[in-house]
Structure formats: structure tokens, C-alpha cells
Structure 1
């Protein structure tokens, strides 16, 4: 219960302050902290992060920060990609998903270490097909390993469309909700194949506490250095990725001795 409570707070704070990182924390908490199967953890993370993001997104919607044309251009291809990623996941071993997940965590850590300007005045909006392609690729990742993709969506929106960070984060949260919803629905078929059921009590607790953490994170976001927060988060991701690889690789390569 302690792992569940503090894990949910960390997920909420991450989404509230950084606009990303929710599922990257949720999946390992459920899989290794609570002992869920890989596919069970991924499916649960999708609905947990989707609900938390939907509530967190209301602030950006109220403040009219969401760029709705980009939600459509990025989000709908992302939903198609999410469905495809979840479909692919149904044919693969959970250990493969977690190994890929660890690689994604390392990529997220690298992304967190990179400086992102609040606004890129030199960046011109790119073609619609490029934005849609980026959305689809992020969606495939969401469906395959259960990450919302905020750490990819936010810089993509800034670099491809020239948005400010504030607008990119608000827009990203809406896209995360869309991707998470379609991914969770498709994962019902994936879970049915393995006759796996979700633990709705864990989902309810983690979602409720996560929402509280997210709202708190939004209030605190202006009081902390985003630069230092991202660096600290990146270090945590690297450590967790190392642990996940340590746990997953022996299942993929039984001859390895770790």
C-alpha cells in the first residue's frame, strides 16, 4: 500500500509539473512494486494516466492554451498508431515489452537532459504529414509499452510547430488522453487472450491519489526550476531502466548470467 500511495503521488506530480512521465513511472510501479504481469501493468497504466491527464488537461483547456488543430493533426494519427502498437503487443512476450520499455526510459532520460527553449522563434511550422507521422509513431509506442508519450510529444510540438512550452504541455495532455483511451480499449482484447483481469481497486486508488498529486504539481510548477527537476527525473529514469533490463534480459536470454 505504501508503494502504491507514494508511486501514485510521483506519477501525479510528474504529470502536473512536467506534463509527461506518468506512464514511465506507473508501469514499473505496477509491474515490480505490486507484482502485476507486464501486460496487466501496461493496460492499467493506460487507464490511470489517461484519467489523470484528462483532469490535468482541464486547466490548459480553461486557459485556452490547447492548440486544437494540432490535437487533430497529431492526435488522430496517434490513436491509429496506438491501436497498431497494442495489436503488435498481443503477439509478443511481456519481457520483450519491458526491455523495449527500458530503452524508451533511456530515450526519455536523454530527452530530459536536452535543453528546450520556451519558444523557438526560428522554428517554422512543418508540413501536416510530418506532424501526423510523428503522432502515429508516438502512438505505436503508447500502444506497445503503455507510455503516454509526453516526453516525445512536447518537444515534437515545440520543434515541429513552434509552440511555446506552456502551450505544448497543455496540448500534449489532451493527446495523451486520446492515445491512452484507444490503447486501453484495445488492451482488453490483449488481456482476454491471456485471461488476465485488471485489479480495479489498485487502479482506483492510484488514479485518485495521482489526480491529487497532479493538481498539486500544477500549483507548485512555478516554484521549482524546470531544468533541475528534469535533470533529477532523468537520473531516476536511468536507474529504473537499468533495473528493468536487469529483470527482463534473463527471460529473453536464459544463457545470460546477471
Structure 2
């Protein structure tokens, strides 16, 4: 069965908008795990716009206590700055089960594209190796479609890709997701043929998740944050997480 990792970045966004510790990111993550979520995802950025380094360590402790997966996303090429020790250093402190590498920058509102593996495999390879030495499973953010180079991605030494599902979600909302879903399915199959596992994330929601999983083979994990937190404002975290788990079970 596909597992659910809940991204709690948006809880931190709300907290940071006011200062203080409300809402509490760790408490929110605990509520998600109490409801049955299989893991927690965070994406700490160098500008600390939401999740901070101290949040990462607190959430790592929670996940270790619960025996669930902790997934840290980030750009391995972003240099350290005040309050952000760098992606590898943060992973070395938190020891996540999975490290997901994403080519984002400060100017991006959110992650909006995957790596160009043909061009960047050489740069990625030492970062992947260093993270695997820490014991992390390594996943790489990847665009769906004909441009995905499965052999180059596998050549980095990574364990999985995470398919960027933003274009699928946009097409689904517009009522014509056929081509985007086909691109995701083809990308998953080519990744699997190259020996890579497949995760997926970005703008997946209760409305589109079932269609995505029905059309894309062998998805091992979905990371869902923005939509889940949005939906939980009306139904509550517990009920929302359980609703996602029912979709995954079916």
C-alpha cells in the first residue's frame, strides 16, 4: 500500500506569521501520527520562511519515538547561512529515514520543478553518496514526462524519485488530466525499470489522489501538506488524515 507522509510546513507558516509557538508544529505532527499517518515530511529552507532547524530536530525526535519515517526535503546545493547549517549538516543532526533533494531557491514560492538529471547527475552524485552514508534513503524531485532521464537519475545512486505532481493537479482541476496522468505513469514505469522506487507529491488532495494512484503504478509514498492542512481547517486533522488513509487503502 502507498504510505502517507504529512508535510507540516504550512503549520509553521501560520506560526511564523504571528510569532511565538502557536500553532505548535510538533503537536500538529503528533496529531497526524495519532490519526495513523505513516510519517512526517518537512522542507526547511535557508530563509526559514516556515520550518526552522529547531523544528527539524524536534520533529526528528518525535518520529524516532514513534518509530515512523521522517523525511527532510531540501536543496543540497544551497549554502549555509545564519540559522540554517546546510542540508547535509541538518540531515546529519536529525538522521531522517529519507532525504528528498529538491532544486528550489529563495525566489520560488514553492517547489515547482524537478532536476535536469542529464545536466546535474554529476553534481548530485556526491551529495547522494554522503546522505546514504548517514543511512538515509535518498529521493530526487523529478518532472514527469518525456524529458525525464531515468538512467541519469539512477546513475546518481539515489533510491527513489519523487514525481512532481503539480501539473497533474492543475490539469485535474481543469477537468482534463489524461495527458498529465499518462506522463506521470510513464515516468514511474521508466524509473522502476531503472531500479528506482517512486514517491509523489505536490498539490495532491482528497479530490485527485484516488485518480492519481489508480493511474500511476507502484507509488510507494505520497507527501501531502498544503491541501491536507487546508482541508483540516474544516474537518480537523484527525478526520482529514483518516480520510486520506481510506483513499490509500482503497
Q: TM-score, normalised by structure 1?
A: 0.25
Q: Which has the higher contact order (CA 8 A, sep 6+)?
A: 1
The structure richer in strand per residue is 2
Please report the TM-score for the alignment, with normalisation by the length of structure 2. 0.26
